[in-house]
Amino acid sequence: MSTPRVRDYMVLEVEHLQDTATVRSAIHELLRGRHHGLPVTDRARKLVGFVSAKELLRRASDADTPISRIIRPGTITATPDTGLDDAARIMFRFGLRDLPIIDEHGRLCGILSNLDVVRSHFERASPVKADTLKRLLRERYGLPFSFHRGLVPIDRLTPTQWKVFEDELEGRRYELERGFAEPVLVLQKGDAWILVDGHHRALAAREMGLTQLQAFVLRSDRPEEFARQETGFERIAHEHHLRTVDDIEIDNSTHHPLVEVTTQLIRRFEGQPVRDAASGE
């Protein structure tokens, strides 16, 4: 597997400010988005620095002052060919949320956020899940399997989980809005697309009006033989009358197990009775 590079995960359309912008206009730009700061360039788009919300707050009374006068010249950068792990170390070492990316001429060409780094780790973990399932299927059915990454149609997915949790669903919506969700795991058997892992992601995507999802798709290398065998995934779908992701129940009454455990740990740390977490009091 090739080493992931910054170019694989950086955002290309970068919001930035020209060095001639005033403190007032810079504050306005920050308020329009969710950024804690923005790169600053000259007219040739060469990166000259980075202005943070804290710097603008300190100089808010100098509303008409160009930001070129309040920022420190230069900033920490990387190039598209920088290894992603190296970029992550730079960001961790200097406490950066965003790392501007420049080309060989010093021009701003992208930006890498700490969320992009986390997303990369999620995506790199997904092939491990797919490889594990491939091995289990081979052992169970005595057939060779392979997988590839691609897009799958959400309306053709057959779920194998009959309930999802609303709090986790909300988290998946947030991830999808920011291009942050890892691929789902799908078993293709003939015309069937069986959703093995990623039910919260699939349902969140459906609710958001998306029609396709990135997925690792497993299929048997001997499809005719595999078609004659019923999988446990198919039995679960039949038993719970699951045909599409719209058949999945959304549970608003309890927390996702991960949220529940986290709540209990927090309450224990704060000295509150653990039973309160379960009761919701």
Structure confidence by residue, pLDDT tens digits, 129-166: 888 889 999 998 999 999 998 999 999 999 999 998 88
Q: Which two tokens stand for residue 208?
A: 């958001």
Residue 165: the pLDDT is: 86
Token pair belonging to 170: 């909300």
The proportion of the chain whose per-residue pLDDT surpasses 90, expressed as a percent, equals 52
Q: What pLDDT, on a 0 to 100 scale, did the predictor assign at position 181?
A: 67
pLDDT band at 106 (very low <50, low <70, confident <90, very high): very high
Which of 179, 171, 256 minimizes the C-alpha distance to 210? Answer: 179
All structural domains of the chain, each given as residue ranges with its CATH number in brackets, are 6-116 (3.10.580.10), 143-258 (3.90.1530.10)
| Tokens read off for 219 | 């299929």
pLDDT at 276: 34
Could you give the CA distance from residue 117 to residue 240 in angstroms, rounded to a whole number?
A: 38
Contact 98, 11 (CB under 8 A): no
Helix 84-94 to helix 114-141 angle, to the nearest 10 degrees? 140
In this structure, what token pair is assigned to residue 261?
């455990």
Res 258: pLDDT? 47
Weakest mean pLDDT among 6-15, 36-45, 114-123: 114-123
Whether the per-residue pLDDT at 1 is higher than 60: the answer is no
Lowest mean pLDDT among 181-185, 203-207, 219-223: 181-185
Among candidate residues 148, 137, 238, 259, the one with its CA nearest the CA of residue 192 = 238
Phi, psi angle pair for 200, to nearest 5°:
-65, -40
Positive or negative: CA dihedral 265, 271, 275, 279 = negative
Judge whether 154 and 213 are in contact, CB under 8 Å: yes
Buried b / exposed e over 229-243, threshold 16 CB at 10 Å, is: eebebbebbeeeebe
